[in-house]
Amino acid sequence: MKRSWASLEEFQKFLDHGGIVEPVDDMPREYRQTVFDFIEMHANSELMGGLTERDWIPKAPGLRHKMSVIAKTQDEIGHAHLLYMVAADLKIKTREEMMQDLFAGKSKFHNVFHYRAKTWGDQVAIAFLVDAAALVSQQAVFKNCSYGPYKRILKRIIAEEGFHLRFGEESVLRIAEGTEVQRNMFQDSINDWWWPALQLFGPDSKPNDLLLRWHIKSERNEILRDRWIQKFVPLLQGYGFTIPDSGLRRNEEKDRWEIGPIDWKPLKQTMIMGGPDSARRISEASDSWEKTGWVREALEKVSA
Amino acid sequence: MVKSVLSSAIKEYLLAFADDEHLMGQQHTEWIGIAPFLEEDMAFASIGQDELGHASMLYALILEGSSEVDAFIFNRKPEEWRSCQLVESNHQNWEEALMRHWCYDMAEDLRWELFRESSLPELVLISERALKEEKYHRQHADALVENLLKVSTSKSRLMKALEGIVPEVLELFSSIPGETEAISSGLVSGKYCDKLPTWRSRVENRFGVLDQKLFATSDHQARTKRHLDFAPLYGRIREVFLLDPKAVW
């Protein structure tokens, strides 16, 4: 049954009391747009994450690893698929339009997927650090998400991301106990991926953050970021790796790890498609999309 | 030392199948993320996993329980591989990837059928599992092909790709090393090349009668000659391994 609200204040009260919005509801325009933008960026990021990792599937060291990374990439693309459908139901853009915008560099995706996975160590670092950061964020959204369809598919996404993280943990453990070549490779990956993964949470949330007010996110960026730091600093140090942060220190009084100042310039660059691998990533994706356009056109003709 | 159950001829015979499955799965992985739409990315990923899974089970059988499966697979020299050229060739276009998928999977169940009453119980189990999965592979490829053949522009792309692939498929069916012993020992129920007419009728039922010349030529060298595209493929497969032969990943 379609529901509507007389004013934004009433809608806010509904959300504050744990109300769940469904696509058929007559939701406020600003809410619809905010939810759409958030889900579209999540969908784009899942797809671009799959593309970041696809480079290393053919090179995976062993049949079991190969099957694992295929399954992982399949999951990421599957998440994109589900998220695009949920976003399309908001009737702001079709799935086709969202993908066209992505390949034209007109819509955003997470900062970490503007970097290139240059080694197998990077592939493992993505599963270990980046997937963990994404999982922390997604769990916080799932906890109190006011948009029903998004909350429901996040349940599945979170379950699958948990497997990805375990793949990363298992691989890091073997590398940590491995040869000097393996350890050096992974230390280089930590050096390259630590800060981008940490910046995935974004700058501190603003006091008037709409995503928090409308219960799309349930926790502030800085709290989520800190949760990730408290987990990964001791883990990596325990494995004998170094964190590339000269300002990192242990605050014994608070029993917490404190990091040095964050340079937000790299994050800002990715937001304007100026990250280290943004141009190649977009142009390759766009090129493949164009080259296979004949298939989509033919199937459209058949179904017309 | 435990005496090997499988003779070297039979291992050679199984290796040809394992290598074909491995490289077919490997080739499918190259298309994940760059297919025409997301559903196809996922389908190629799923089919690729199945083929690699089949390869893994066959390699395990050949190595009779050894834990050194990866070392065996990845440390071999090119001349020690027994894959056919169809799975070694690098296809640049999606129509070629789709047609290879169609042609290979229309041939694969015919190969697994030969193991259904094998004297080796493990092979019977593997073939039963593979045949269940292969049914979906064929359905996937054929549903897409059926629709794309309805539009003249996409039909001409598929037909051109098919003409390039048919001669490569003939090598897939050609004499497999160790086949004589595999048949006499009851490992398989017959020659794979005897299934070629069935495959051809599947092709002609779907695409119409093809030029006879396509079926007349094949560079049969008992899978000992590697395709020109094998070298870069071999390089990619072994890239991480070669960083440190002592490493366990």
**ipTM rounded to 2 decimals:** 0.93
The CATH number that applies at residue B188 is 1.20.1260.10
Per-residue pLDDT, averaged over A144-162, amounts to 95
Per-residue pLDDT of chain B (249 residues; tens, 9 = 90+): 445 679 999 999 999 999 999 999 999 988 999 999 999 999 999 999 999 999 999 999 999 878 788 999 989 999 999 999 999 999 889 999 999 999 999 999 999 999 999 999 999 999 999 999 999 999 999 999 999 999 999 999 999 999 999 989 998 998 888 999 999 999 999 999 999 999 999 999 999 999 998 888 665 667 888 999 999 999 999 999 999 988 999
B2 in any annotated domain: no
Q: Quote the minimal CA–CA distance from A103 to chain B in Å.
A: 12
Residues B33, A73: C-beta atoms closer than 8 Å = yes
Report how far residue A72's alpha carbon sits from residue B171's, in angstroms, rounded to the nearest whole number: 34
Which letter does DSSP use for residue B227 in this model?
P
Nearest chain A Cα to B96, which residue?
A292
Residue B105 lies in a domain: yes
Across the interface, whether the CB atoms of B249 and A298 are under 8 A apart is answered no
B161 located within any domain: yes
The reply to whether residue B248 touches residue A78, judged by beta carbons under 8 angstroms, is no
Residues 6 or more apart in contact with residue A71 via CB below 8 angstroms: B45, B49
pLDDT value of position B113:
98
Cross-chain Cβ contact B41/A63 below 8 Å:
no
pLDDT number for residue A170:
95
A235 CB near a chain B CB, below 8 Å?
no
B70 part of contact set with chain A, CB < 8 Å: yes
Residue B3 lies in a domain: no
Tell whether B29 is within 8 A of chain A (Cβ): yes
Residue B248 lies in a domain: no
Reported pTM: 0.94
Domain chopping of chain A, boundaries: 8-303
| Total CB pairs under 8 A between chain A and B | 140
CA atoms within 13 A on the CB side of B165: 27
- pLDDT of A221 > 90? The answer is yes
Distance CA B247, CA B241 (A): 8
Domain range spanning residue B171? 8-243
Name the minimum distance, in Å, from the CA of A160 to any CA of chain B: 15
Q: Per the domain annotation, does B212 fall within a domain?
A: yes
Question: Distance from first CA to last CA of chain B, Å, rounded?
Answer: 29
Rounded Cα distance between B94 and B78, Å, is: 27
Q: Tell me what pLDDT residue B2 has.
A: 47
Q: Give the residue on B whose Cα is nearest the Cα of A70.
A: B45
pLDDT band per the 50, 70, 90 thresholds, residue A283? very high
Local structure of residue B221 (DSSP, 8 states): -
Contact B174, B192 (CB under 8 A): no
> Which of these ranges, A111-120, A248-257, B192-201, B210-219, has the smallest mean pLDDT?
B210-219
Q: How many distinct structural domains can be found in chain B? A: 1
- Within a domain: B138: yes
CA distance to partner chain B, nearest, from residue A285 (Å):
7
The per-residue DSSP string of B72-133 comes to: HHHT--GGG----HHHHS---SHHHHHHHHHHHHHHHHHHHHTTTT-SSHHHHHHHHHHHHH
**Superfamily covering domain A8-303:** Ferritin, core subunit, four-helix bundle (1.20.1260.10)
- Of the candidates B122, B135, B145, the one whose C-alpha atom is nearest the C-alpha of residue B59 is B122
Q: Which of A58, A81, A295 sits opposite B30 (nearest CB)?
A: A58
Asked if the structure places residue B1 within a domain, the reply is no
